[in-house]
Amino acid sequence: MAAGVWVAVVMPAAAQPAGKPDFGAQHASEDARFVVDWVMGSADHRGLPFAVVDKKDARIYVFAGDGRLSGAAPALLGQAVGDESAPDVGAHTQAGEVPMPERTTPAGRFVSQPGRNLDGEHVVWVDYAAALAIHRMRPGASYRSREARLASATPGDNRASLGCVVVPEAFYEGVVQPLLGHRRAVVYVLPETRSVRDVFGAL
């Protein structure tokens, strides 16, 4: 686990009734709780594991299909504020040239699937066409600065990716990959420029 980055991995609680959403000791936002209540109440996830990405708080929550929280962690998100993907962002990402306005983490409901990126690294594809994935923090020249951003108590400095949801390595290996990395799942990305009820109420 990266030094200074606090990650919550939650062990299953036998007393927790199946089908009842549970954030455990996490101080999740009202928007995150609203979406999880809606997911479980409507069975929108169809019993699959699911994740909620709260962009305003720069956090990710991963749940088992029965609504039990498996873990939560800080996340790095797209550098640009916005809730839509640019039309050509997938092609620009593969070319290594993503203009700043296109570096958004789009909001909405996505059916994810595990896979590999161009470097052969295991990722969870949230929107393959838009090159949007959940992946672990990668080694490189910016590793230390990104590590510091994840460890920071403020979400504002977590805007550091091209659009992907980047999580601590220990959290990816201990929570994301076991729950989301072997089958299809559902990922709910909360908006930051619109109301969460506008985005998910339409569903």
Return the domain boundaries, the chain: 8-201
pTM (predicted TM-score): 0.86
**Which regions in the chain score pLDDT beneath 50?**
1-4, 6, 11-18
CB atoms near residue 92 (< 10 Å): 17
Question: What was the pLDDT predicted at 2?
Answer: 42
Amino acid at 169: E
Please state, in angstroms and rounded to a whole number, the distance separating the CA atoms of residues 63 and 123: 18
What's the Cα-to-Cα distance from 145 to each of 37, 56, 58, 133, rounded to whole Å? 35, 20, 16, 21
**Cα 93 from chain centroid?**
19
The CATH architecture of the domain made up of 8-201 is Beta Barrel (2.40)
> Do residues 161 and 103 make contact, with C-beta atoms less than 8 angstroms apart?
yes
Contacts of 118 (CB under 8 A, 6+ apart): 94
